[in-house]
Amino acid sequence: MSFLHDVLLYDETESSQKRGEEILFTLGCRVRVVSTLAEAEARVADANVLIAEAPLPESLQAAVRAHEIPLCAVLSARLEAPGEVASEIGADAYIVRPYREETLQMALHAVLGARLWRERSRRAELALADVAGSERKRLLHVELFKALLSHEIRQAKRHQRPIAICVIALDGEECVTKANWIAVECEPIIRASVRGVDLPVRYGDNRFLVFLPHTDQTGAEVVGTRIANAIANHRFRRGDTAVTASVGISKPRSGQPLSFARLVRDAQAALRAAQLKGGGRVVVR
């Protein structure tokens, strides 16, 4: 038999293990069944998919995060909103006990689709880097930004990683009337001020947005201040043009679901506060 995928099934109940293994074998998978945390951690690196009861122990979450293994969460039938629970923990898919062929088949399709999408996103990013050179000067295309952003939000939910957003606006009436050439000249400044993993994009005529994965509030303030200082200190093509930038920063609110829309609203509110204080500064909300 030709196997399609290597699946690691982490289940501590013997009867449930056997049922899951039988179904996955029928679906064309090579299955490794483990019943202890130590076994799961030892074998996760060799798997294409991890199917495990949620919530995962922190040590196993770290292993999944390190190897970027797609995760299918196994949830109790007693849960009222399993989809919301799966979303909160960042699972790529979920099933509700007991194991059934139909639900496992759909879950496998979802998690492997997520894996394929992530690989395509990486290839797209590498292709963009190849076209633009090793030191990219322009910001991400909006469609690529959306694709990569979706992946980063999912990963942040799944692994409870810190994230932040910077919204940058060029200050002053002159920047509004000359927004096009000034904003274009600011693109390489912003690109040079952020890390390779950060996602910078144009967000309007004289605005920019930078998504900061793996970044807490302190780190975001460092990036925001670096961007503001770099723009203020830059000598633009026309020597009489002095430009400053206001920066609004937001981070996820404690106790609330992670939402990109909420992050953007909070960052825009922080940006308005920076502008009301005279611009050329960084405000965190």
Query: What's the chain's average pLDDT?
Result: 84
Dist. CA 214–CA 106, nearest whole Å: 31
Q: What angle do CA 239, 242, 245 make, to 5 degrees?
A: 145
The pTM of this model reads 0.58
Give the residue from 151, 274, 163 showing the smallest Cα distance to 217: 163
Least confident of 10-14, 71-75, 131-135, 202-206: 131-135
**CATH code 3.40.50.2300 region(s) in the chain:** 5-119
- The CB-side HSE value for 146 (13 A sphere, CA atoms) comes to 3
CB 104 within 8 A of CB 49: no
Decide if domain 5-119 falls under CATH 3.40.50.2300. yes
H, E, C per residue of 170-181: ECCHHHHHCHHH
**CATH code 3.30.70.270 region(s) in the chain:** 135-284
Fold of 135-284: Alpha-Beta Plaits (3.30.70)
| Beta-bridge partner residues of 245 | 170
Query: 185-207: per-residue pLDDT in tens?
Result: 899 999 999 987 888 999 887 89
pLDDT of residue 2: 42
Buried b (16+ CB within 10 A) or exposed e, 74-103: bbeeeeeebeebbbbbbbbbbbbbebeeeb
H-helix or E-strand spanning residue 85:
helix 82-89
| Proportion of the chain above pLDDT 70, given as a percent | 86
